[in-house]
Amino acid sequence: MNIRTFGVIVLVLFVALLGYLGYLFAKRWEPYTVGGKYEVRRNRITGIVEIRNNGKWEQSLRNDPYADTLSDADLQRVTLRDVAFGDRGLLCATAVVKPGGPPVKGRLAVQAVILGPDNKRRTIQSERVMRGTVDWPAGATVPFVVATGVDPPAPKETFRVALITVHSEAGLKAETP
């Protein structure tokens, strides 16, 4: 192979790479429907996931490591409902905050545990804890999405999802029924 052939090959690879990057920028958002209820999109470049809430796209959990940690009392005011796993390990749920109190504002963790048919944790990718910061007003019903990075449960598998304090090892404070 001479230098001219090598140059042509490098040029073709460079143009192909530019075309792929152009495609990624043109089609940045990858749409998903989770559980037949939640409309979610994932950014192909950054990996950020957003959920549609009242016709507006919102990022559910922000990454603010300096935010105050939520207490157990704050988490007891939150219940989860309509929890669903989707493609690419996207976990969606609706957080319902009890009215008549201060807003739930601070750092928490979402714990997802996948159980096998025998009700024991599966051996591979059985548990994931994702941290984030929320600002949920009192009395609010807020849908949220978390990218877990685990494979969704198989048909015979079940899962548990809980909101726990950041420093808790096994809290399961606001747990799915």
Whole-model pTM: value is: 0.76
Looking at residue 110, its amino acid is V
Count of the separate structural domains present in the chain: 1
Domain contains 20: no
The reply to whether 6 falls in a domain is: no
Instruction: Please report whether residue 21 resides in a domain.
Output: no
The whole-angstrom distance between residue 172's C-alpha and the CA centroid of its chain comes to 18
Question: Do the domain assignments include residue 101?
Answer: yes
Evaluate whether residue 141 is within a structural domain: yes
Place of tokens 């143009």: 15
Q: Is residue 18 part of a domain?
A: no
Q: Residue 94: its pLDDT value, please?
A: 93
d(CA 80, CA 37): 15
Regions of the chain short of the pLDDT cut 70: 123, 168-177
Q: In the prediction, which pLDDT does 123 show?
A: 67
69: in domain:
yes
- Amino acid 96: pLDDT: 94
125: CATH: 2.60.40
State the residue range of the domain holding 88. 28-175
Q: pLDDT tens digits, residue range 92-127?
A: 999 999 998 899 999 999 988 888 888 887 767 778
Task: List, in sequence order, every residue forming a beta bridge with 90; answer none if it has no partner.
Answer: 147
